[in-house]
């Protein structure tokens, strides 16, 4: 019986630790994107990966892979056109990652952060 109680208490503390770490990860995500003003986009590094992040005027965040689907260059934010533009061969993508202009034929992948 004592063994069962010890086993239960040990697993309970592990669950508490996991719950605490999940909360701190959420805070990290909020800090990461806090500086992104409405109507702006930026390629940023998050958890070791590059992310194309755009916050629309309503405050909704759109996060995409910044890797161009044509040949793998990294897109950059075009604030005037509100698009993601590839510097290598001129492909352009809208805020949802859909192709506006080729040579790319496939959109940018969506990323959940």
Q: List contacts with ligand FES (CB under 6 A).
A: 68, 70-73, 86, 88-91, 103-104
Cβ at position 69, least distance to ligand FES in Å: 8
The kind and range of the H/E element at 63 are: strand 61-64
Cβ at position 62, least distance to ligand FES in Å: 19
- In this complex, which beta carbon is closest to ligand FES, that of residue 55 or of residue 75? 75
- In this complex, which beta carbon is closest to ligand FES, that of residue 33 or of residue 74? 74
Burial class for 59, CB neighbours closer than 10 Å (0-12, 13-18, 19+): exposed
Cβ at position 54, least distance to ligand FES in Å: 18
CA-to-CA separations, 68 to 14, 42, 76, 77, in angstroms, rounded: 41, 15, 10, 12
- In this complex, which beta carbon is closest to ligand FES, that of residue 25 or of residue 71? 71
Report the alpha-carbon distance of residue 68 to residue 112 in Å, rounded. Answer: 18
Judged by DSSP in three states, 67 sits in strand
- In this complex, which beta carbon is closest to ligand FES, that of residue 52 or of residue 86? 86
Cβ at position 74, least distance to ligand FES in Å: 9
């Amino acid at each position: 019986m004592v063994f069962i109680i010890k086993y239960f208490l040990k697993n309970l503390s592990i669950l508490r630790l996991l719950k605490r770490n999940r909360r701190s990860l959420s805070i990290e995500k909020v800090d990461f994107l806090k500086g992104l003003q409405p109507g702006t986009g930026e390629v940023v590094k998050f958890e070791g990966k590059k992310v194309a992040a755009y916050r629309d005027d309503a405050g909704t965040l759109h996060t995409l892979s910044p890797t161009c689907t044509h040949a793998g260059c990294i897109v950059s934010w075009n604030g005037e056109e509100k698009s993601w533009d590839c510097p290598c061969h001129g492909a352009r993508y809208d805020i949802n990652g859909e192709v506006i202009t080729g040579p790319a034929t496939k959109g940018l992948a969506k990323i959940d952060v």
